[in-house]
Amino acid sequence: MTIYELITHLLPEGTDAFDSMQEEHVDLPAIDWKKCPTWPIDLFAVVGSIIERSGCYTLASPDRHKLDEHKAYLAEIALAAQRWNANISEVPDSVNNLWWMLTLVYADVHMHEIASMPDLVKALLILFAVADEACIGMGWDVDPANAPQHQFSSITFAALTKADQALALPHLPHSLCVMVSPDSAVVLPKSINSAVGCTIRSLSHYLALLPPSSVLNASWILSSKKPPAATAADATAADATAPYDMRLLLIPFPFTIHADSFKLSTPRKELGHNHVPAYFELEARWLKRDGKPLTGELLARELIIPLIQQAITETGAAPNGIILPECALTAALAGELVEALKDSKIDFLITGVLDTGENGTHYNRALTFAFQEGKEATVAEQNKHHRWRLDRGQTERYALHFDPDPNNDKWWEDIDVSQRKLPFLALRKDMSLATFICEDLARTDPAMTAIRAVGPNLVVALLMDGPQLAVRWPGRYATVLAEDPGSAVLSFTCAAMVDRSNWLEAKPARAVGLWRDGAGRTQEIGLAAGSLAVLLTLQSKKKHQNTLDNRSDNSLSRQLTLRTVVPLFLAKPLHWL
């Protein structure tokens, strides 16, 4: 494929994003691909696709013998980005000239030829870097003092919050592009730039290039109960760089799971010289109280709100977020719970849910609820991407005996794994969070590419698993993400499965969570005897990052570290737990 062929493929309707934003299209001229994309995120998607396919990002590092030249190169990028943000209706001349060269001089160059042409590589890297730098602050609210210099980010934030319908971007929340369809490429905001390896992920600060939405339907969801600052005095440079705390209330519900919650859905069957494996299903029998279905109002009133109050007593402030493990609730129960918690002052709730569709299909999902000021909570859902495969060792460890076939030793989780989604939750104004469901933490495809591209500050893995020990599988896979892209990783399971796993242990480890961060800290999070929850206090500190071509982010990114772990108790025992 040639450069021109890829450009026309990615921009089938042309390059002018601002024309496409208008409600009426009157006598539009014929498409002229020699005109540079007017929306920097479209430019990022197109040039990034060329760079990635050609592999020329490996040539981005500065020549150590020509540092003065590279200093001038960086200054050229910064100036072009500033000019573009100052006048968003006009692409800077230097950017236009490079694009013109790309579409005329190098139009017929094939992808495999690009890396051997230094002038072309330099042009591509400059265009990519200018597009990235023009999008500083992308994905979060922009401080009013910086709004004139961050106009593209301000436009995007207005579209994300639907504050200005005239500027609605067509592919939100799944991509920030205008002219490039998510079927071809996706661009989302970026939190952390990988500090190791040599990939295109290491070449940008503010934008992330993701696979097409047909592979993985990613999205960017804002989470804020507070509106953006009204005046410049509300946000200072000191505020932007000072450390601040985030509190997470971990409730390892359910606390009891009986063996009859696991059922054989279909036995193993012979198929010629092979066989069709057996499948098991979960029945959420733990969601009953005295034989009656548990309600969200009861769960909130008797368990969660008292735990929030206990957290306030311990720290002086309400938790920012509440997390429940894999399969803890149903979607309907989660909705009732969110309604009951709307006045609790929390910002978000993440829970695993187990549901069965009308056709009998089972779903293992994660729901992320973002509480909005004066509005209903925004919800993002994702199906589990990979089935859990139970083996004989696990069933014996968990004391499960649901299959009478003595010759079978493997059972697959009977759930739907289609419609793969991955929402990113934007926390406050400079951090993001992503959720995995158990097995998804251990599998490379399809989510890991997106996780490493966006670099969420925190990855939460909801599990139905045994003790969360550093030597077990969650610890191994968390280490990978803590190194690349540098995210903090929290794996979290229910107390019930920890206890079932511990029945044969002389010295049981009741660790319901495991923390691993980019600073190298690993912490097992235990559940003390009699405790019903754990409150984590995380500290967010500024983090300085460089790209492959040595552009600095001036310490705008954030790194999360674990400060404290506090067990929470209730004075009144709950017999239905």
pTM value > 0.75: yes
547 found inside a domain: no
- Lowest-confidence range among 77-91, 97-111, 498-512? 498-512
pLDDT for the residue numbered 231: 36
Distance between CA atoms of 466 and 495, rounded to whole angstroms? 9
Same domain, 145 and 285: no
pLDDT confidence bin for 164, thresholds 50/70/90: low
The CA R_g of the chain, rounded to the nearest whole Å, is 25
CA-to-CA dists, residue 465 to 172, 239, 491, 517, angstroms: 35, 40, 10, 21
pLDDT at 556: 86
Same domain, 260 and 164: no
Q: Are 290 and 576 in contact (CB under 8 A)?
A: yes
Domain count, the chain: 2
pLDDT per residue over 281-305, tens digit each?
999 999 988 888 999 999 999 999 9
Report which of 119, 122, 123, 118 is spatially closest to residue 97, judged by C-alpha positions.
Answer: 123
Question: Are 126 and 254 part of one and the same domain?
Answer: no
One domain, residues 308 and 192: no
Residue 136 within any structural domain of the chain: yes
Q: What is the CATH number of the domain that holds 487?
A: 3.60.110.10
Contact 34, 25 (CB under 8 A): no
CB 1 within 8 A of CB 151: no
208 plus 349 within the same structural domain: no
Residue 239 lies in a domain: no
Answer yes or no: is pLDDT of 125 > 80.
yes
Q: In the structure, what pLDDT confidence band is assigned to residue 228 with cuts at 50, 70 and 90?
A: very low
317 and 270 fall within a common domain: yes
Kindly indicate the confidence band of residue 197, based on its pLDDT and cuts at 50, 70 and 90.
confident
Question: What mean pLDDT value characterizes the chain?
Answer: 90
CA distances, 34 to each of 43, 44, 84, 96, 127 (Å): 13, 16, 18, 9, 14
448 domain residue, yes or no: yes
Domain endpoint, select from 214, 229, 260: 214
Q: Per-residue pLDDT for 22 more than 80?
A: no
Shared domain check, 388 and 293:
yes
Residue 272: inside a domain, yes or no?
A: yes
Q: What is the DSSP code string of 345-399?
A: --SEEEEEEEEE-TTS-EEEEEEEEE--TTSPPEEEEEE-SS--EEEHHHHHHTT
The predicted model gives 35-49 an average pLDDT of 97
- Whether omega before 573 lies within 30 degrees of 0, making that bond cis, reads no
User: d(Cα 147, Cα 143) in Å, to the nearest integer?
Assistant: 6
Flag whether pLDDT at 25 surpasses 60. Answer: no
> Which pLDDT band, with edges at 50, 70 and 90, does 439 fall under?
very high
Model confidence at 431: pLDDT above 80:
yes
Binning pLDDT at 50, 70 and 90, where does residue 165 land?
Answer: low
pLDDT for position 233? 37
Indicate the residue among 197, 214, 231 that finishes a domain: 214
For 333, the domain range is: 244-542+561-568
Contact 547, 556 (CB under 8 A): no
State the distance between the two ends of the chain, measured CA to CA, in whole angstroms: 61
Report which of 493, 490, 524 is spatially closest to residue 509, judged by C-alpha positions. Answer: 524
Determine the Cα–Cα distance for residues 36 and 43; give it in Å rounded to an integer.
Answer: 8
Query: Of 573, 551, 543, which is closest to residue 192 (Cα–Cα)?
Result: 543
**Is 576 within the bounds of a domain?**
no
At residue 232, the pLDDT reads 36
Q: Name the residue with tokens 């006045």.
A: 343
Give the lowest-confidence range in 181-185, 213-217, 342-346: 342-346
Q: Which of 95-99, 193-197, 471-475, 527-531 has the lowest mean pLDDT?
A: 193-197
From 176, 194, 214, the end of a domain falls on 214
Question: Same structural domain for residues 323 and 411?
Answer: yes
Residues 210 and 255 in one domain: no
Q: Is residue 423 part of a domain?
A: yes
Shared domain check, 63 and 11: yes
Beta strand extents in 200-243 (DSSP E only):
207-210, 217-223
CA dist list (Å): 413 to 136, 417, 571: 43, 10, 38
Coil vs helix vs strand at 61: coil
pLDDT of residue 166: 52
Average pLDDT over residues 498-511: 86
Contact 447, 422 (CB under 8 A): yes
Q: Does residue 475 share a domain with residue 349?
A: yes
The pLDDT of residue 424 is above 50: yes
Paired sense of beta strands 321-323 and 348-356, if any: parallel
Alpha helix positions (H), 429-534: 447-454, 473-483, 495-501
Same domain? 149 vs 266? no
Element containing residue 435 per DSSP (H, E): strand 431-437
Yes or no: say if 261 and 285 are a contact pair by the CB < 8 Å rule.
yes
Whether 230 maps to a domain, the answer reads: no
